A = this chain, B = another copy of it.
Amino acid sequence: MSGKERLPVRGAQGDLLRLVATGHAESRAQLARVSGLAASSVSLRVEELIDTGLLVEEGPGTSSGGRRPRKLRVSPAAGLLAVADLGAHHARLGLLDLSGVPLVVEERACDIALGPEATLDWMASAFDDLLLAHGPAGVPLRGVGTGIPGPVDPGSGRVVSPSRMPGWNNFPVAEYLGAHYDLPVLVENDANLLAVGEARSWPGFDNLMVLKAGSGIGCGVIVDGRLHRGRGAAGDISHVRVRTDSSTMCSCGHPDCLEAYASGAALMDALSGLGIATRRPADVVALVEDGVPEATALVRNAGRLIGEVLTVLVNFLNPDAIVVGGSLSTAEPLISAIRAAVYERCLPLATRDLEIAVTRGGPDAALLGAGSLLLDAVLS
């Protein structure tokens, strides 16, 4: 649709713009330190970026014992990113500026079971709405990105073998969106986006496991500060066999998968078997907060099972932190059961400085993650 214009950045300018946009630097001196370029080169490039209108100076910052830095910011007029996080029945959609700050975020009901074309067309028109209502005049759209509740092939931007997305298998989402928008397009698994978004809230934590506990169980992995995709399916923990007394078949054809016991969907099933009706994973959290013992017991058991799976992964990956997000993450017993299992069974060496915490990035973390990855695509 709008704005085919490429971002007018050349050479080192892109790196500098990225560092400012991601918040890694906000003055010339900091840019020089972080980028490794000489201070003089930084000054030159920054001057150019200011002339092009991509960067703006916004007054002096706070001194740290010497002359005050002149703070830099990405210009709000540099461009917009349209990002979405598709869920089974709801989608969060938003517009971000190039530094990832949301202009507007909305949650809308949708239904991915209608198939990819209908859903993506719906998404595009929702973006149009947002741009019309909240997009400042003359600010071009620079990129479009969305999270998908299923595996995404990183090369082709196709959905591959999703378990709860009928009609989407092998659909080329990136290509379809690319036909709509002549812009960089990002398609990524939702847990991965969450992980990237969370990573921004955990500076200094270079190795993260970010759990998304909602209807399903997903996990995004940050290794050395960057998203780890493997061959595209990395981060799956939902089909690990767990230790239980009973035996339940999972939709994947194997017995006793974690997902069959600890996912939001599984908890809702179990509650319904006990005559307690719920419509969404958040309802389960509400029951726990209301002190309904059956719900609490189920959630605690789910946490224990998840924690036992995490023990293996913590010993192996030795991360700096485990971050729990998703709609179930606000359930206290879930986190404490995970903590208990991990700290009890993992090697002391691996848990020595391990933090296990709930999400810091807030409800829009996945959208911020999309913005972060999209910025890379825009500046490449």
- Residues of chain A having any CB pair with chain B under 8 Å: 151, 160-161, 207, 219, 221, 223-224, 226, 228-237, 239-241, 243, 252, 254, 308-309, 311-313, 315-320, 345, 347-350, 352-353
Contacts and interface: CB of A to CB of B under 8 A. Distances in A.
Nearest to A226: B224
Given A347-B236, A347-B239, A316 B315 contact: no
Given A318-B232, A319-B230, A320-B231, A312 B240 contact: yes
Given A151-B349, A231-B352, A232-B318, A224 B221 contact: no
Contacts of A219: 316
Contact of A345 (B151, B236, B254, B309): B254
Nearest to A348: B161
Nearest to A151: B349
Contacts of A313: 312-313, 316
Contacts of A316: 219, 221, 234-237, 313, 316-317
Contacts of A228: 223-224, 317
A231 B353 contact: yes
Contacts of A224: 223-224, 226, 228
A228 B240 CA distance: 23
Contacts of A226: 224
Nearest to A221: B316
Count this chain's copies in the assembly. 2
Contacts of A237: 312, 315-316
A243 B243 contact: yes
What is the interface of chain A mostly: helix, strand, loop, or mixed? loop
12 contacts: A207-B231, A221-B317, A223-B228, A231-B350, A232-B349, A233-B350, A234-B317, A236-B349, A252-B347, A313-B313, A313-B316, A316-B317
Contacts of A230: 207, 317-319, 350
A347 to B, nearest CB: 6
B349 A233 contact: yes
Contact of A239 (B221, B243, B315): B315
Query: Lowest 9 CB-CB distances: which A-B pairs, in order?
Result: A230-B318, A234-B318, A233-B349, A236-B315, A233-B318, A240-B312, A312-B312, A223-B223, A233-B350
A5 to B, nearest CB: 27
Contacts of A243: 241, 243
Contacts of A232: 318, 349
Most chain B beta-carbon neighbours within 10 Å: one of A237, A252, A316: A316
B312 A350 contact: no
B345 A241 contact: yes
A313 to B, nearest CB: 6
Given A223-B223, A240-B311, A233 B347 contact: yes
A240 B252 CA distance: 24
A120 B268 CA distance: 60
Nearest to A229: B318
A25 B236 CA distance: 36
